[in-house]
Structures are given as structure tokens and as C-alpha cells.
Amino acid sequence: MTTAPIVLPPNVIPRFYRGGPAIEALRGIALDGARVPEEWIGSTTTAFGEAPLGLSRLPDGELLRDAVAADPEGWLGPAHAARFGADPALLVKLLDAGERLPVHVHPDGPFARAHLDVAYGKTEAWIVVDAQPGAQVHVGFREDVALGALRGWVDAQDHDALLGALHPVDVVAGDAIFVPAGVAHAIGEGVLIVELQEPTDLSVLLEWDGFGIADDDEATLGLGWDLAIACVQLTARDAQALRGPAPDGALSELLPADARAFFRAHRIAPGGATTPLGQGFAVIVVLEGEGSIGGVAVRRGDAVLVPHGAGEVAAAGALVAVSCRPPEAGPT
């Protein structure tokens, strides 16, 4: 195992929705097609029903999953390995919404374990990298919703009712939003995000007609609506409570405290100085400028994997980056 940070090659993923140009611009790569809107960074997770799609490779071509399995303590640290084994318990993505995504929801851990034989749910968070003027996301029901009403909207594919039931939230670069599993949401057109999430690819698409989804079976992960709709939280949410704190200083926490059970995110902005980052597995996306991480030269667009074995690392130079780390505690 390397004992230094690694600049990763691209790992772009085709999806059903349009997007990709914003990833091309940030990463300095060329994509093939109009529906390559995601890059999975430092991933040991596979796309639902499409394995091995999703797995990241190291610069020498080895699958990161295999490297971590061979030395979980070196990559993840003894404490993490004791709790999670050879599992980073984290998936980091770049997501470029070239169109509005459908209203959807992700199962939580208990639902996923009981009905999908998957260890994790899919709580997630969005760190906004870029947003077109007027861009919005939609997150959480504005009012309590009766199960019968929701089922009626889904059966009729009532787009206006489904989207209208959610809080519209204006977003600009630098915003951060925490999205617990079970909370209905949609990402609007023209938003580029760094997404942190539990390491699954589980989505129940409440809105699917007209979005390139084949049928109800695909929209429900094969569960059918009678079961799948049970993973939706029907109570109203305060959308503002899901926002993270404003960045402040050379190393700023980006997400609300409730996120720490699932993942951690920090903004790194040394401002030309040196900022200690501590020790531990991390996925870092460089958004602006250039400098170094753990002594390795980096620049805008680089995706950097930091193994635990790299020891205490620091960031230096005139760069801005987002650091994504696994949970402090296990998912709930």
C-alpha cells in the first residue's frame, strides 16, 4: 500500500439522466455522450444491478476494492477496520444535473437490510460546487403527507403534485445540504455537486414517467409500490435545518452535526499557508487553484485519495478543496 496521497484517474458513470459537461470542465476530461452525469471517486461500491460498474481503479489499474481488502488497516485505519472491515463506509461522487432529476427517496439502513439484503441505506449530502443562476434543489415535504395521497400522486405520475409538495431551496456555490434517508428530494437542472453518501446505489423513484425509467419495477428496486413506498418519511421537514454552516477559516466543517454518524465533509482553503488535515482515509476533490496535499502536488480538478497509512497530512498552497471522510460512528 502506498503511504502517500494518490491522484486518481477518472471513473465516470452513465446514468438515465443528462449531464456531464460540468464534470468535463472541472476535471479536464472528455466524456462520451450526453448522459454521463456522475463520477464515483475512490469507490468500492457498485451500481445497483450493474456490478462491477462503479468500482474505482488506482493509477496502476488495480481495483481500489481489492487493494483495501488486502490491507484494510493500512487504507482505513485500525479503528475503522475493526468496525467496518475492508469497507470505507463512504461513497463520494461528482454529480452534474443537466436536467432536473425526478422526485425520489432513498431507503434507510433498517429498510435496506430487511428488504434488499444490503448493509447500508443511502443518507447523503450535497456540497454545491457550481450552480446556474436561479438553480434550486427540492428537499423534504413542506407539510405532512398522507400515505394515500402520496400513493395517488405516484400512481398518476402527478409531477406537479410530487415536486410541489417539496421545499424549493435556492442554491449557490458553497452551499451544503444534508439529506437523511427517507426524505423525498430532487436536484434541479444546472447544479454541480460533490455528493457524500452511504455506499449504496438505492433509489426509489417516486417520479419516473418521462425520465427514461422503464417501468414501476425499475422505479421501486424490484420491490413494488406497496412495499417500496414504506421507505418514505411522510412528515414535514424544516429545509433550513438541513443546511450546513457557512465555511469559515482554513478548515471548515460543512455539514450539520447529525451527518457525522454517516460521513464528514470539510472545506480546505489554506490561503497560501499550511493547514493540518490530521490522519485518516479521505477523498478530496480540488475545486480551485493549486498546491499540495500530503506533499503531493495537486491542482483544480484533481481527485485525491488519502490512505490512513499516509499519516498526518497537511494541505498547502492557494487551493480550495472538499475533503470527504467516513463516519465517526456507524449508520443508524
Name the residue among 268, 302, 303, 244 with its Cα closest to residue 124. Answer: 244
Q: What is the pLDDT of residue 2?
A: 72
Q: Can you give the pLDDT at residue 1?
A: 60
Burial class (CB in 10 A: 0-12, 13-18, 19+), 272: exposed
Q: What is the pLDDT of residue 166?
A: 98
pLDDT of residue 124: 98
Ranges of the chain with pLDDT below 50: 329-332
Question: What is the pLDDT at residue 3?
Answer: 85
Taking only the tens place, the pLDDT of each residue in 263-312 is 999 999 999 999 999 999 999 999 999 999 999 999 999 999 999 999 99
pLDDT for 328 equals: 79
The class (CATH top level) of 251-325 is mainly beta
Q: What is the pLDDT of residue 297?
A: 98
Q: Which CATH number fits domain 9-242: 2.60.120.10, 3.40.50.300, 3.30.70.270, 2.60.40.10?
A: 2.60.120.10
pTM of the model: 0.96
CB-based contact 231:203 (threshold 8 Å): no
Region(s) of the chain under CATH 2.60.120.10: 9-242, 251-325
Please give the pLDDT value at position 327: 94
| Cβ-based neighbours of 49, under 8 Å, separated by 6 or more | none
Predicted pLDDT of residue 330: 45
